Chains A and B, each alone.
Chain A
Amino acid sequence: AQSVTQLDSQVPVFEEAPVELRCNYSSSVSVYLFWYVQYPNQGLQLLLKYLSGSTLVKGINGFEAEFNKSQTSFHLRKPSVHISDTAEYFCAVSVNDYKLSFGAGTTVTVRA
């Protein structure tokens, strides 16, 4: 079975500052990795995904993530956040594109 741990439940950050959201996973087989964003009262939107290849993955809205197999991590970063980045962020893992196993989420609050 696979599992995901998001190491920070809440991350406050000032506008235009960088942000990093940490995600570790556990799996005995190769996995696909994802980051999703959820704005209040909405569904999930895919930010980026890692399937194979380059370990640095670029996504939408200026986000990127780095897959580190040895540390079983998939941390999400953005060099400069905006107020509109205030949202809940979920890291997820799947095996062979089957069900997604999600972390508990990280609430990002961007302050002016």
Chain B
Amino acid sequence: ETGVTQSPTHLIKTRGQQVTLRCSSQSGHNTVSWYQQALGQGPQFIFQYYREEENGRGNFPPRFSGLQFPNYSSELNVNALELDDSALYLCASSSYKEGGGYTFGSGTRLTVV
């Protein structure tokens, strides 16, 4: 059973640029969520996808967008990067069949300079 894999592991971008982060869900999981974890804080919910449709969104602006593909992998896109977007971005997958709990990836560390 494969876990959740994220790429890249680290990324440095310049303010105003755009970035795409990728996530491969755990086998059998059809729901994927993205979280932002700023330094020294708990993760904050960005959005969730279920069967390729956005299924809920946290308090993040529209420049944060996402996609889920038929194989349940996912992308997080952030446009017009700001310095405050520097954080660890975590992808988590789950299956309603399993009931409760998400499997997290190791994250992508994004630094905006």
Residues of A within 8 A of B (CB): 4, 32, 34, 36, 41-46, 49, 51, 90, 92, 94, 97-105
| A102:B43 contact, CB within 8 angstroms | yes
Partner of B56, one of A42, A45, A98: A98
Judge if B106 is at the interface, Cβ distance under 8 Å.
Answer: yes
> 7 A–B contact pairs at CB < 8 A?
A43-B90, A97-B96, A99-B56, A100-B43, A102-B42, A102-B44, A105-B42
Number of chain B residues close to chain A: CB under 8 A? 27
Partner of A51, one of B6, B35, B100: B100
Partner of A44, one of B48, B56, B90, B94: B90
Given A43-B90, A46-B101: A103 and B42 interface contact (C-beta under 8 Å) = yes
Residue on A with the closest CB to B88?
A43
A46 to B42, CA, bound (A): 14
| A36 proximity list for chain B (CB < 8 A) | 104
Residue on A with the closest CB to B48?
A99
Judge if B16 is at the interface, Cβ distance under 8 Å.
Answer: no
Residue on A with the closest CB to B46?
A99
Secondary structure dominating the interface of A = strand
Given A105-B41, A105-B42: A100 and B102 interface contact (C-beta under 8 Å) = yes
| B33:A99 contact, CB within 8 angstroms | yes
Partner of A90, one of B4, B43, B102: B43
| B106:A100 contact, CB within 8 angstroms | no
9 shortest A-B CB distances, which residue pairs? A102-B42, A44-B104, A43-B106, A99-B45, A43-B104, A51-B100, A49-B101, A43-B107, A32-B100
Judge if B105 is at the interface, Cβ distance under 8 Å.
Answer: yes
Judge if B58 is at the interface, Cβ distance under 8 Å.
Answer: yes
A103 to B105, CA, bound (A): 19
Residue on A with the closest CB to B90?
A43
A94 to B21, CA, bound (A): 25
A42 to B4, CA, bound (A): 12
